[in-house]
Structure 1
């Protein structure tokens, strides 16, 4: 449109926060990444949470599990009966009254498997029809599973164990206290402080307020709030109740109605569980971005050290000597070789034996570095990386660098063998020179025979008659002799020139061989050392990302 304002590009939407399923999946990946690296108790705790969360999520999401927990005489069983509208749980001051958890369920569909998972005795399960419990249209308790627990301060260990089990799996924790013992040390030390992070799914009920004057109720609530906040329970939710007063539990009932209607307590409880464990994983993550692999300088140092450990320079030098020795069989002057064989030279024979043994070993013998040399080469490969990692991951990266150390000597040997040529690899020009040399020898031999014939027929007159021509003219002898000398000289000059050429090419051949061996050694270093280290660093990078996911932070 003409005359219109230019369109303003919309700002990209902020990434959505991970869902509970995403967070649990992230926690599962943290366990997998931490296996073999982090402490076993943390991994076991996270594994137990994943199992518990998986089981709870597979069970009824229409029901909210609410526990009533408290000390002896706090009146939780009376409160339980008041909400249920029936005398379902025994009440009194005798220690203890409630020895097993009692459950009252509003809405039975799907509640059976949930109660089985909660391990509530069938004798202590009660059901209420939601229609009978509706005092107004918005106050239905349909979907509530209300549990009355034994006293947390019971003298019976099995009762305390029952409380400990339920407070770790309940969707909403309700702590019932009375005006006389709301500061009970056992309650605060064993439950309030350890579960302070669960403030979002924790409700504090100050019961029996009928025993207090109105102004005393406010003072008591204020003091209780101060105490809870000092113990780390952020913004504690406190309500007052009286199981004996008229409308004394309506406030508590309204909270239950709202909680059941929202159907968020299950997810909020599991989210709080994940928060607690994820924060422990976060202790094993540094804020700084980690390196992703071994830097180039240390890669070069590693390859150089492995090259020395494998003896590649010595093999290349032996290959140069072997190359020259092999060339002498082709480009050397056969006449000189014959004279050398006729002369006994033990030193030369020994040298030939050594070179041939080096050549044989280079191709067929075991090639490999000593384990100690390899270990020395690996000593500093992770320096500069582990200093930027948490302790457990630094140890893991160092272990990754050495994970295949015992395989490296053999791998180095194989890489060197693959780089070495075979015996039948002969340059074509060697064959041409050898053919030329034997052609010259043939010419020299024929020339010598010719000289003999000229002497026999041209000088000694064998047979009496002068045959004439090329076999009877003695005057050709000097020319044929010159031909012999020239032929021999040409062969010697050819051999000398080729030896110089071989000396030059052998150096290039050695350099080329060392380059090929170095390429093989670089592959070994990459496959056996660099890649394992990089893979471990990638696991750590994924670990850092999954910590954010498990903590519920949007991905960067």
Structure 2
């Protein structure tokens, strides 16, 4: 077996996060677990995307960091298992590291701290360069055991091991502690080396054991320097250490004893390393434990009860009614109904009565209907058509029945979704009402028939009055002295012609009266039709600007709940 420094190899991959379904370089040697892990990572990625702008940023930041780290790790060698030796001052990490490697690669001694930089030893060079580059191990502290050249030796079982000796976690140098913190988050197997005197060190347990209690499957506790204890003291020490770890949340912690100075003192630890490397599951198990820890934090943002998926009919009807009132659609329909009646009066009204009305000061009759129409149309070109305050009240009402069924953060998101187009709604309502207004360019055909009939009656009445004038002039007053005779000179026709005038005027008045009743009925139907058209436009605005964003947000929440289950595995 030979030992050599590992040259820096340029990364063969992009180092980015793998896309969904993209093959992962180096993952071919993994067992059937990685596809499930990739599915969980995909779900976690969707959780981050759904939570952006909705959930607490620290949770999203931690999940994003995990996704980035997992993506990079899965792109690197799956044939290597990263094992870190971490511990406190004087615990014997470096001695243990050297004992496993078989050479003095990491400095040991009484001076503290002895290890100021991470040292690595790799069994198997193929693919190790990019991995060590990602780990950012100093090139001067990279070593390799070429055990593959001599498969008969005991170290052949360690093929694929990347063993890293870390600085002391309790070092007075902040840079050393930062180095430990960095490697603890990326190692496949966490090995905590403790000694009989300081295995209950508060800093170790508070800063590392408790926060990573869910990582029991990828955590190993090595009680080192047991050569200093009597055989019965070893069992007592292990039992007390186990009790302490279980009290801090580690379920069934793995503990192994070791001594770097005793003969065969590291065989138990070496056997565990061999089993771990052979299984090649440490990478997947570590990332799965990380996903467990992060995904658990997302459960606080969902309820177990099934959420609503749409705005129910009751709240939708209330919203439409509130927007209808805010836009003043009933008043507009009433105004247009009055305009319809005024317009009809020009066609079916009794012309003589219209002439009499014009002789009086009537502001309604002086109003031009086209001007009324343009005024109504111009009233719906902006926020004048619907007051913003009324719209805001309508939006608040539609979410009141939905937010109690959602967690706090999603309730805020739902309210924001309902108000996402709040400033656009008044103008949109005005445009919808404007489109519903009639053009007044066409009138019912029967109006023209009635108008022709009325003017015919007026003509008959006028001609009859002229006839009476001639009868009076020639038949009664004997104007000109000559009797013209016929229909002009016979005074006896005056009563009959007068009756004709009265009948004609009566028929005109009766026709106008009957048509007014028909117009009243028609105008009511016209107003209802107008309000219906306006309401259809308001319903369209309500759906596009309010209901659709709300339902989209509810759909995001429903997918979020499902993705939490997937991420939890």
**Could you say whether these structures have the same fold, taking a TM-score greater than 0.5 normalized by the shorter chain as the test?**
yes
Pairwise CA distance, 1:209: 2.0
Q: Could you tell me how far apart the structure 2 residues matched to 1:354 and 1:533 are?
A: 44
1:361 corresponds in structure 2 to: 375
Local SS of the residue matching 2:158: coil
Q: How does 1:38-49 map to 2 (within 5 A)?
A: 38-49=55-66
1:275 aligns with 2:289: no
Per-residue CA deviation, residues 442-480 of structure 1 (Å, 9 max, x unaligned), is 333444455556667777586968575x66766655544
Pairwise CA distance, 1:219: 1.8
Pairwise CA distance, 1:434: 1.3
Pairwise CA distance, 1:544: 1.0
2:111 corresponds in structure 1 to: 94
1:72 corresponds in structure 2 to: 89
Per-residue CA deviation, residues 478-510 of structure 1 (Å, 9 max, x unaligned), is 544443333332222111110111112212222
Q: Could you tell me how far apart the structure 1 residues matched to 2:291 and 2:46 are?
A: 13
2:71 corresponds in structure 1 to: 54
1:9 corresponds in structure 2 to: none
Name the stretch that deviates more: 401-410 or 481-490.
Answer: 481-490
Count of aligned pairs between the two proteins: 533
Q: Could you tell me how far apart the structure 2 residues matched to 1:488 and 1:211 are?
A: 132
Match of 1:173 among 185, 190, 199: 190
1:340 aligns with 2:357: yes
Q: Could you tell me how far apart the structure 1 residues matched to 2:94 and 2:86 are?
A: 9
Q: Could you tell me how far apart the structure 1 residues matched to 2:497 and 2:178 are?
A: 120
Q: Could you tell me how far apart the structure 2 residues matched to 1:217 and 1:184 are?
A: 18
Q: Is the 8 A contact 2:92 2:225 kept in 1?
A: yes
Q: Is the 8 A contact 1:133 1:140 kept in 2?
A: no
Per-residue CA deviation, residues 323-382 of structure 1 (Å, 9 max, x unaligned), is 11111011111111112223x2x3x22575398765442233335111122222233221
Name the stretch that deviates more: 145-154 or 508-517.
Answer: 508-517
Q: How does 1:368-407 map to 2 (within 5 A)?
A: 368-407=385-424
Q: Could you tell me how far apart the structure 2 residues matched to 1:128 and 1:449 are?
A: 133
Q: Could you tell me how far apart the structure 2 residues matched to 1:466 and 1:71 are?
A: 143
Q: Could you tell me how far apart the structure 2 residues matched to 1:22 and 1:107 are?
A: 30
Q: Is the 8 A contact 1:415 1:520 kept in 2?
A: yes
Q: Is the 8 A contact 1:72 1:93 kept in 2?
A: no
Per-residue CA deviation, residues 427-451 of structure 1 (Å, 9 max, x unaligned), is 2221221122223233334444555
Q: Could you tell me how far apart the structure 2 residues matched to 1:17 and 1:488 are?
A: 98
Q: Is the 8 A contact 1:139 1:257 kept in 2?
A: no
1:418 aligns with 2:435: yes
1:159 aligns with 2:190: no
Match of 1:517 among 534, 553, 559: 534
Match of 1:259 among 254, 273, 276: 276
Aligned-pair RMSD on alpha carbons? Answer: 2.5
Name the stretch that deviates more: 245-254 or 277-286.
Answer: 245-254
2:446 corresponds in structure 1 to: 429
Match of 1:241 among 226, 241, 258: 258
Local SS of the residue matching 1:531: helix
Q: Is the 8 A contact 1:324 1:502 kept in 2?
A: yes
Pairwise CA distance, 1:533: 1.7
Q: Is the 8 A contact 1:67 1:166 kept in 2?
A: yes
Pairwise CA distance, 1:169: 0.6
2:207 corresponds in structure 1 to: 190
Q: How does 1:19-34 map to 2 (within 5 A)?
A: 19-34=36-51
1:289 corresponds in structure 2 to: 306
Pairwise CA distance, 1:52: 1.0
Q: Is the 8 A contact 1:90 1:97 kept in 2?
A: yes
Q: Could you tell me how far apart the structure 1 residues matched to 2:150 and 2:271 are?
A: 12
Segments of 5+ residues of structure 1 without an aligned counterpart are 1-15
Q: Could you tell me how far apart the structure 2 residues matched to 1:124 and 1:301 are?
A: 72
Q: Is the 8 A contact 2:223 2:255 kept in 1?
A: yes
Segments of 5+ residues of structure 2 without an aligned counterpart are 1-32
2:545 corresponds in structure 1 to: 528
Q: Is the 8 A contact 1:139 1:254 kept in 2?
A: no
Q: How does 1:533-548 map to 2 (within 5 A)?
A: 533-548=550-565
TM-score calculated relative to the size of structure 2: 0.87
Pairwise CA distance, 1:268: 1.0
Check 1:454–1:337 CA distance in 2 against 1; reply closer, same or farther (3 A cut): same
Q: How does 1:445-484 map to 2 (within 5 A)?
A: 445-449=462-466, 460=478, 468=486, 478-484=495-501
Per-residue CA deviation, residues 120-157 of structure 1 (Å, 9 max, x unaligned), is 01111111112356456895222111111111122211
Q: Is the 8 A contact 1:77 1:89 kept in 2?
A: yes
Pairwise CA distance, 1:263: 1.3
Match of 1:439 among 456, 459, 462: 456
Per-residue CA deviation, residues 56-96 of structure 1 (Å, 9 max, x unaligned), is 11111111111011122222112111221222111123201
1:123 corresponds in structure 2 to: 140
Q: Could you tell me how far apart the structure 1 residues matched to 2:35 and 2:449 are?
A: 76
